[in-house]
Amino acid sequence: MLQLINTIISRPSGAIGLTLTALHLAIALLAPLIAPYDPTVQNADAVLLPPSLEHWMGTDTLGRDIFSRVLHGGRLAISVTFAGAVIATVWGSFAGIIFGTVGGRIDEYFMRLVDAFLSVPWLLFLLLIISIGGAGPSTIIPTLGFFYGAAVLRVIRGAAMQVAARDFVTAAKARGEKLWPILTREMFPNLSDVILVEGAMRWSWMLLAFSSLSFLGFGATPPTPDWGLMVAQERGLLSTAPWAVFWPCLALSSLIIGINLLADAIGKALGIDRATAMAM
């Protein structure tokens, strides 16, 4: 573990990624303690104030302190997408390992279904489900998890097929091992690195998806402080109060970039070539 972190921070991009991610996670955890104001309390006497010593990032149209809202703004997005990423990684890699190990006809037909499923552009699928099941985390988490899991499945199944072709798996099969021990003792330990990187990468894409949903009005609900929603609400006054939009944009982008760089660095440190895995 320590060695892995050392390899990650030996590259500048990895060091930046780890710093950004850790910083954001710390802020999200500590936001209630460090925020100077309540992020939802409105103040009619302090509407759209420019940045000052009292309000470091200014105030928004309802007089709320933007600095406090930016500090809180990642909490919902991070927890929703983390839950979604865990669901996606668990079911996607579980099914991917099975299909990659078993192979043959079943695998081939099932992959056709997965391909057909993946050909619904993700946002449309989410929007369709939201228009049926309503917005909010209880709809979004399982949908994101299920949908991104299909993409994880595709990648892990590809990686599993390569492992399944190796000698020690053939030997285990020849010994007469059952499917389950082969999956847990031969396949999984050789795929855990790929799964880790895949999960981290999906997490960053999911953050992008969730904040886009929030921006469109289907993710976080007012008055929850959420970066995507903040941009959507304040961008009408972009010309008079650009700070109200700038800070949430910066916070959101830096978190996604951070996780992305970190996932990439973990992949490189573990010797996983993501370019080829992505293409499959």
Partner 1 sequence: MPTLILRRFGFAAFTIAFVSMIMFAAVEALPGNVCTSFLQRLAQGPRLERCIEQQGLDRPAIERYADWASGALKGDFGYSLKKRKPINEVIGERLANTALLGGLATFLAIPLAVFLGIVAGVRRDRPLDLSLSGIAMLAMTIPEFVTATALIYVFAIVLQWFPAVTVMRSGMGFFDMLPNVVLPVLVLSAVLIAHIMRMMRASVIDVMASDYVQMARLKGVPERQIIRRHVVPNAMIPALNVIALTVAWLLAGVVVVEKVFNYPGLGTLMIQAIYDRDLPLVLSVALIFSAIYVAVNLLADLAALMIDPRLRRGGH
Q: Contact residues for partner 1 (CB under 8 A)? A: 112-113, 115-117, 119-125, 127-133, 204, 208, 211-212, 215-218, 228, 231-232, 235, 238-239, 242, 245, 249, 252-253, 256-257, 260-261, 275-276, 279
CA-closest candidate to residue 251, choices 67, 81, 79 = 67
Q: With respect to partner 1, which residue has the nearer C-beta, 171 or 238?
A: 238
| Residue 114 contacts residue 153 (beta carbons within 8 Å) | yes
| Nearer to partner 1 among residue 37 and residue 246 (C-beta) | 246
- Taking the complex as a whole, how short is the minimal distance between the CB of residue 115 and partner 1, in angstroms? 7
User: Considering beta carbons, is residue 98 or 208 the nearer one to partner 1?
Assistant: 208
CA-CA distance, 126 to 237, in Å (whole number)?
29
Q: Which is nearer to partner 1, 37 or 205 (CB)?
A: 205
The Cα–Cα gap between 228 and 220 comes to 8
Is-contact 173 101, C-beta < 8 A?
Answer: no
Q: What whole-number distance in Å separates Cα of residue 122 and Cα of residue 27?
A: 30
Q: Minimum Å distance from CB 208 to partner 1?
A: 5
Q: Rounded to the nearest 10 degrees, what angle do helices 188-216 and 137-164 cross at?
A: 150
Q: Provide, rounded to whole angstroms, the least separation between the CB of residue 75 and partner 1.
A: 18
Q: Find out whether 13 and 254 touch, Cβ atoms under 8 Å.
A: no
| Shortest distance (Å) from residue 138 CB to partner 1 | 14
134 vs 181, beta carbon nearer partner 1: 134
- Which of 206, 221, 193, 187 has its CA nearest to residue 95? 187
CB of 169 to partner 1, least distance (A): 24
Closest by alpha carbon to 81, among 158, 5, 154, 142? Answer: 142
* 7/212 with CB nearer partner 1: 212
Q: How far is the CB of 217 from partner 1 (least distance, A)?
A: 8
